[in-house]
Amino acid sequence: MVGCIWLIGGTTESQTLASAIASHHLPCIVTVTTEAAKLLYSAIDQTYLKVRVGKLLPNQMPKFCQMHQVIVILDASHPYALEVSQAAIAVSRLANIPYLRYERPNIISASPQIIQLDSFNTLLTGQYLVGQRVLLTVGSQILPQFINWQTRAILFTRILPTLEALQIALESGFTSERILALRPPVGKQLELALWQKWRINLVVTKASGRVGGEATKREVAHQLNIPLIVIERPKLAYPQLTDDIQVATNFCLQHLPKRASYS
């Protein structure tokens, strides 16, 4: 094989990108951290696609790029996986590999229910949660930061159905009746029913875009007149950034002409 695309994946948008890349017969290696994420690409022609499962540490990335003869880095990691993007940018500069960040579009809409905050620190050091019945839909990794809030608010959380996520939630002070393990997407009616069942009066989410369920939460918050706190995406100066699939595909075509197969 002479050159390939490194697609940093694990997200819904990376699945769309992988499919577009494969349709152009471009060799591509996708990196994901879990076997569950690997399933995102199972329906895509594997002639041009290879999926690597496992965490790729920053100090492993240069060797990875050399081993797979990476000549394009297409970063479609989660908007909050800041460390991954920072490491990939560093490698691209070190090895002089073209880098493009593909990021799901932000939702921009004014609503009296929406409270935009710049970080979790702003949320945790403020008084937003005091005395509230709060649903946290922010992922499991951040939950330990809410331990001190367990006595100042009634906290609920929705997490991925994995042992690791459940263990983190329990260790963060969430009792079993305040945990829901559910794989997205979550439809509007289910979202609505859950908020009503738990008598939620405040919801916290990330600015994860439409594919991350943010639009649905905005709709339900409006319908129930419940405040929705949206934690903005971390700021990073990406060398190149797009939210257009065609632009991302053309970027790959520009640097990597069609090949016969991934071999």
Structure tokens given for 233:
């995406």
**2 falls in which pLDDT band (50, 70, 90)?**
low
Structure tokens given for 20:
């577009």
pLDDT (0 to 100) of residue 4:
95
pLDDT (0 to 100) of residue 227:
98
Pairing of strands 202-206, 133-137: parallel
pLDDT (0 to 100) of residue 64:
97
Q: What is the mean pLDDT of residues 68-87?
A: 95
Identical topology for domains 4-103+235-255 and 114-231: yes
N-term to C-term CA, the chain? 5
Mean pLDDT of the chain: 93
Residue 80 has pLDDT above 80, yes or no: yes
Residue 87 near residue 225 (C-beta atoms within 8 A) = no
Three-class SS of residue 96? coil
Q: What is the mean pLDDT of residues 148-166?
A: 96
Task: For residue 146, give Cα distances in angstroms to 43, 114, 164, 200.
Answer: 39, 21, 17, 17
The per-residue b/e assignment along 182-219, b for 16 or more CB within 10 angstroms, e otherwise, is eeeebeeeebeebbeebebbbbbbbbbbebbbbebbbe
Three-class SS of residue 247? helix
Angle between helices 188-197 and 214-224 (to 10 degrees): 50
Residue 1 has pLDDT above 60, yes or no: no
pLDDT (0 to 100) of residue 258:
54
Residue 111 has pLDDT above 60, yes or no: yes
pLDDT (0 to 100) of residue 36:
86
**84 falls in which pLDDT band (50, 70, 90)?**
very high
Residue 114's Cα: distance from chain center in Å? 21
Residue 261 has pLDDT above 60, yes or no: no
Residue 219 has pLDDT above 80, yes or no: yes
**148 falls in which pLDDT band (50, 70, 90)?**
very high
Preceding amide of 185 cis, omega within 30: yes
pLDDT digits (tens, 9 = 90+) for 232-247: 998 899 999 999 999 9
Question: Which residue would you say has higher pLDDT here, 194 or 78?
Answer: 194
Using only the alpha carbons of the chain, give its radius of gyration.
20
Q: DSSP states of 129-197 as a string?
A: TTT-EEEEES-STTGGGGGGGTTTSEEEEEE-SSHHHHHHHHHTT--GGGEEE-PSP--HHHHHHHHHH
CATH of 114-231, one of 3.30.465.10, 1.10.10.10, 3.40.50.720, 3.40.30.10: 3.40.50.720
Pairing of strands 154-159, 133-137: parallel
Question: Which residue would you say has higher pLDDT here, 2 or 184?
Answer: 184
CA atoms within 13 A on the CB side of 227: 13
The CA dihedral of 16, 18, 21, 27, to the nearest 10 degrees, is: 180
pLDDT (0 to 100) of residue 179:
98
Architecture of domain 4-103+235-255 in this structure: 3-Layer(aba) Sandwich (3.40)
Neighbouring CB atoms inside 10 A of 246's CB total 9
- The structural domains of the chain, with segments of one domain joined by +, span 4-103+235-255, 114-231
Residue 34, classified by CB atoms within 10 Å of its CB into exposed (0-12), middle (13-18) or buried (19+), is: middle
pLDDT digits (tens, 9 = 90+) for 52-63: 999 999 999 999
Q: What is the mean pLDDT of residues 148-169?
A: 97
pLDDT (0 to 100) of residue 206:
94
